[in-house]
Chains A and B, each alone.
Chain A
Amino acid sequence: MQIFHRSTNTLSRATIFGAVFVIAGLGWALMELQRSPYITYAGVVKPQPVPFSHQHHVTGLGIDCRYCHTSVEQSSFAGIPPTKTCMNCHSQIWTNAQMLEPLRASYRSGESLEWTRVNQLPDFVYFNHSIHIAKGVGCNTCHGPIDQMPLMYQYASLQMEWCLNCHRAPEKYLRPRDGVFNMRYQQPTSAAPVLVAGESYYDQASLGKALMAKYKVRNVADITSCDTCHR
């Protein structure tokens, strides 16, 4: 006897194909989620006790990175300015701005300000600022256009694949040491060459190679060894 209606033929085939697509779609969705700002925080502004604007301080006032991030050239850790550093200026200007109250409170009480860490790596990853700077990796190469950030956010995904992008091809990103802290630095073009040790370079390829040699950047196999970042 006939158990099923005609339509079940089409239906059954449809479901089989459907299943394939659904599973594939699910996988794809997971991949996307993995890389989404929800997981990585890339581009996400985190709550801070004081709405500090890098844009204002860097672009507006032209303060150098190292004025606050003092240890960036000697230490793995760039350093977060102590309340004192802020107060150097803010004991004179904006002395009664409401939004700076937490700052003054901290200075009075000696209780530290509790910022929320913006660029955060897992505990099993060891990153060293000083060596990246010594090898000519610009601040904004990783931290992005800080000079245009009213509120600070994490620029890159900080995922392993992102790190490897550079560790596998440093020459694409390196710049002369004197340009490291320059937020306006542009990679060389035929129109705007970059001058290093009296020699001007018209494209990143040649500049990168030259700097690799100049700064003794270790070869890719070395800097993609596990122990470069994991201990």
Chain B
Amino acid sequence: MRLYGIMAEFDSPQGLVEAARRTHDAGYRKIDAYSPFPVEDLAEAIGFHSNRVALVTLIGAIAGGLSGYLLQYWIATISYPINVGGRPYHSWPSFIVVTFEMTILFGGIAAVFGMLALNGLPMPYHPVFNVPRFAMASKDRFFLVVFATDPKYDAAGTRQFLESLGPRSISEVPS
């Protein structure tokens, strides 16, 4: 049967980070690390730096702010201009609040859904779940996986290499 990758289990974040770093140094690129909480340095240990969430959020926020203000401007001066308590049609100070709220709203929504989208979530099914021990990944175990799609990957060699990292256990991830 085809494998999705090989999974090594560690029991401390420390161990995982070192292992990940060495695997990356060893030239493995298609790898991922799993931890029950965000671990510092783990991301760049596996060579992941770029992160476009901030950009998405910014775009969302700007879109929200603009739409908010333009909506009000259009309503008050173009769609149905009418004299309210002697105020000018375009009484911009009154429009600030809603503009601000819309900025926040769209920004926030963009941040959350952008993050989910970039993470490819929702994804209830994932091969790593096939490994029974992986259930511990959401408790107190730390996993490193080298994917079968990695050019340097070969079943035996990679397994050997992972064992050399002194994991608690090694298991194959069926795809």
Chain A residues close to B by CB (< 8 Å): 1-9, 12-13, 16, 221, 224-226
User: Do residues B124 and A4 form an inter-chain contact, with CB atoms below 8 A?
Assistant: yes
> Contacts of A224 on B, CB cut-off 8 Å?
80, 82
Q: Can you report 22 residue pairs joining A to B where beta carbons are below 8 Å apart?
A: A1-B129, A1-B130, A1-B135, A2-B125, A2-B129, A3-B124, A3-B129, A4-B125, A6-B125, A8-B124, A9-B123, A9-B124, A9-B125, A12-B122, A12-B123, A12-B124, A13-B122, A16-B122, A221-B81, A224-B80, A224-B82, A225-B82
CB-CB under 8 A for A8 and B80, given A1-B132, A1-B135, A2-B130: no
A111–B85 CA distance with the chains assembled, in angstroms? 52
A16–B124 CA distance with the chains assembled, in angstroms? 14
Interface string of B128-148 (1 = CB under 8 A from A): 011010010000000000000
Q: Say what secondary structure dominates the interface of chain B.
A: loop
> Contacts of A9 on B, CB cut-off 8 Å?
122-125
Determine how close the nearest CB of chain A comes to the CB of B42; give it in whole angstroms: 24
List the 6 closest pairs (A to B, CB-CB), nearest first.
Answer: A4-B124, A12-B122, A2-B129, A8-B124, A4-B125, A6-B125
A5–B135 CA distance with the chains assembled, in angstroms? 17
> Contacts of B122 on A, CB cut-off 8 Å?
9, 12-13, 16
Determine how close the nearest CB of chain A comes to the CB of B117; give it in whole angstroms: 10
The contact size tier of chain B is 10 to 19
> Contacts of A226 on B, CB cut-off 8 Å?
82
> Contacts of B82 on A, CB cut-off 8 Å?
224-226
A1–B129 CA distance with the chains assembled, in angstroms? 5
> Contacts of B129 on A, CB cut-off 8 Å?
1-3
A226–B81 CA distance with the chains assembled, in angstroms? 12
Determine how close the nearest CB of chain B comes to the CB of A202; give it in whole angstroms: 31
A8–B124 CA distance with the chains assembled, in angstroms? 6
Most buried by A among B123, B125, B130, B132: B125
Most buried by B among A2, A9, A224: A2
A85–B133 CA distance with the chains assembled, in angstroms? 95
Determine how close the nearest CB of chain A comes to the CB of B12; give it in whole angstroms: 24
- Excluding A2-B129, A4-B124, A9-B122, 8 further A-B contacts by CB distance (< 8 Å) are A1-B132, A3-B124, A3-B129, A5-B125, A12-B124, A16-B122, A221-B81, A225-B82
A18–B80 CA distance with the chains assembled, in angstroms? 35
Give B130's nearest chain A residue, CB to CB: A2
A2–B135 CA distance with the chains assembled, in angstroms? 9
Give B132's nearest chain A residue, CB to CB: A1
A143–B125 CA distance with the chains assembled, in angstroms? 63
A199–B132 CA distance with the chains assembled, in angstroms? 93
> Contacts of B124 on A, CB cut-off 8 Å?
3-4, 8-9, 12
Determine how close the nearest CB of chain B comes to the CB of A9; give it in whole angstroms: 5
A3–B129 CA distance with the chains assembled, in angstroms? 8
Give A13's nearest chain B residue, CB to CB: B122
> Contacts of B81 on A, CB cut-off 8 Å?
221
> Contacts of A12 on B, CB cut-off 8 Å?
122-124
Give A5's nearest chain B residue, CB to CB: B125
A75–B125 CA distance with the chains assembled, in angstroms? 74
A183–B99 CA distance with the chains assembled, in angstroms? 51
A6–B126 CA distance with the chains assembled, in angstroms? 8
Give B121's nearest chain A residue, CB to CB: A12
Interface residues of B in 144-162 (CB under 8 A from A): none
> Contacts of B123 on A, CB cut-off 8 Å?
9, 12
> Contacts of A3 on B, CB cut-off 8 Å?
124, 129
